[in-house]
Structure 1
Amino acid sequence: MLNRVVILGYGSLGRRIEAMLNGTQRIDGDVRAIGFLDNASEGPPVLGGDDLLPEVDARYVIAVADPAAREDIDRRALAAGREPYTLVHPRAYVEDGVGVGPGSIVLAGACVNIDTQLGRQVLINVNCVVGHEVTIGDHTTLSPLVFVGGGCAIGNRVFIGASAVILPRLKIGDDVVIGAGSVVREDLPPGSKVAGVPARPLGKTS
């Protein structure tokens, strides 16, 4: 039976996911994207806004990187009675013992090492490396080329910018923002906003 998937968000990430499901990068012949829902875009292939969620007979993929937005969209989709679709690209390397939470996305070239646990609606972007025995909380985003050392514990709704490095065995609290190219060498409390080499505080996210 063909699995129907609607993509929530019509940005570059959404179009990349559509190519994985329908186009030249198609990864599974039993899955088909039926279109996009996006409140800020109109016209084909956008079917309409997310107010159509109760009417769309399909599972959903969230194609938005912002963690707070991912959480909000996820909540509204669940309230509409939809179920998430979990997406792992065949060119991602996911080792034994890795748990991938509902709705999470692991894109091409990513490497997720043994006994790591991804929460709900986690986004692991292209060419990321996640070490062994890492935990990543719900609605967290890793931008392209992020490195997370083994044994780290990363909270909910964390945004990690492109090419950032988090050294092993660190704890990153909820709602943290880490700037692109940063090197994190110490634990970060909830709500921190950091950037630089080494990463230094820039303020609070809320």
Structure 2
Amino acid sequence: MKRLLIIGTGGFAREVYWHAQNSIGYGTEFEIKGFLEGTLPLEPEKYFLLPAKVYENVTSYEVQKDDVFVIALANSQVKNEIANIITEKGGHFINLIHKTALVAPNAILGEDLILCPYTIVTCDTTIGSHVMFNLYSSIGHDSIVGDYTSIMCYVDIAGNVKIGTHNFWGNCSLAIPGSQIGDDVIVGAGAVILKKIEDNQTVVGIPAREVHKNKVV
């Protein structure tokens, strides 16, 4: 049986610990080993909040043969950095799909996908690697979500939407059918995307409009 290390020590990592125990394969294909710090250590006084053992930082941890990983972080650039570190060490990622999630049998899924409770992935969709869908979010038919993207709660991605890599979508945001969103885009909470959004933008409002040009590190 594989032993899961949840990368991250914040609030979402604690939620993922709970979700994992109600995900497909728990107790038969994997068990939870504990938490692994990302690139930013947790303040020592907050360790008591974590319900399992915390291991070393990703940069110093030695991957064991039965280890598997998920990245429980929302920052897309940090996820990218951590994924590279773990991959270079020979580590492998798994998908955490909650038992209440609905996933079409012909959906194409990458690795290190976290589907939280009551998420919906419909037919002919493609989701990249190191992507998270938080509670009650959905993606419509023929849509694409790029690598390292974080989708927060109650996000509605309609059909035939194309989303690039390294996106962050705030709570209750949505994209109408046929929208195209570039790489490194931040979508503010409640924003409604009606058209094409170029790379490296922060957009807010209804309809979503650029308020900031993002600097990509």
1:45 aligns with 2:45: no
**Matches of 1:26 and 1:162 in 2, distance apart?**
23
Where 1:203 maps in the other structure, the secondary structure is: strand
Shift of 1:18: 1.4
Paired residues for 1:36-75 under 5 Å: 36-38=35-37, 39-41=40-42, 42=44, 45-57=53-65, 58-75=67-84
- Which residue identity lines up with residue 37 of structure 1 in the other structure? L
Counterpart-to-counterpart distance in 2, 1:45 and 1:54:
16
Paired residue for 1:161? Answer: 170
Write the deviation string for residues 128-183 of structure 1: whole angstroms up to 9, x where unpaired: 01110101100111100000110001000011111001111111000011000001
- Please say if 1:76 is aligned against 2:85: yes
Equivalent position amino acid for 1:32 in 2: E
- Preserved contact between residue 54 and residue 81 of structure 1 (Cα < 8 Å): no
Which residue is 1:100 aligned to? 109
Partner of 2:197: 188
**Kept after mapping to 2: 8 A contact 1:110/1:126:** yes
CA–CA separation in structure 1 for the residues paired with 2:19 and 2:32: 9
CA deviations over 1:21-77 (Å, ceiling 9, x no partner): 34xx46521211111111412456211211233244411100001111111111111
Match of 1:51, SS state, is: coil
Match of 2:124 in 1: 115
User: What are the within-5 Å matches in structure 2 for residues 118-129 of structure 1?
Assistant: 118-129=127-138
* Within-5 A mapping of 1:113-152: 113-152=122-161
Do the aligned residues in 2 keep the contact of 1:19 with 1:26 (CA within 8 Å)? Answer: no
- Equivalent of 1:173, from 173, 182, 202? 182
Alignment partner, residue 85 of structure 1: 94
TM-score by length of 2: 0.89
Could you tell me how far apart the structure 2 residues matched to 1:51 and 1:193 are? Answer: 31
- In the alignment, the residues of structure 1 paired with residue 122 and residue 23 of structure 2 have an alpha-carbon distance, to the nearest angstrom, of 25
The one-letter code of the counterpart of 1:19 is W
1:8 equivalent in alignment to 2:7: yes
Task: For residues 88-120 of structure 1, give each alpha carbon's deviation from its aligned partner in whole angstroms, at most 9, with x where no partner exists.
Answer: 111001113111101111111001110100001
Secondary structure at the residue paired with 1:52? coil
Q: Does the 8 Å CA contact 1:99/1:115 hold for their aligned counterparts?
A: yes
In structure 2, the partner of 1:35 is 34
Identity %: 28
Matched to 2:53, the amino acid is: P
- How far, CA to CA, are the matches of 2:128 and 2:20 in structure 1? 23
Number of residue pairs matched?
203
Superposed CA RMSD: 1.5
SS for the counterpart of 2:61 is helix
Q: Is the 8 A contact 1:53 1:82 kept in 2?
A: no
The verdict on how the C-alpha distance between 1:130 and 1:26 changes in structure 2, with shifts beyond 3 A counting, is closer
Look up the equivalent residue of 1:195 and give its one-letter code. V
Equivalent-residue separation in structure 2 for 1:186 and 1:26 (angstroms)? 35
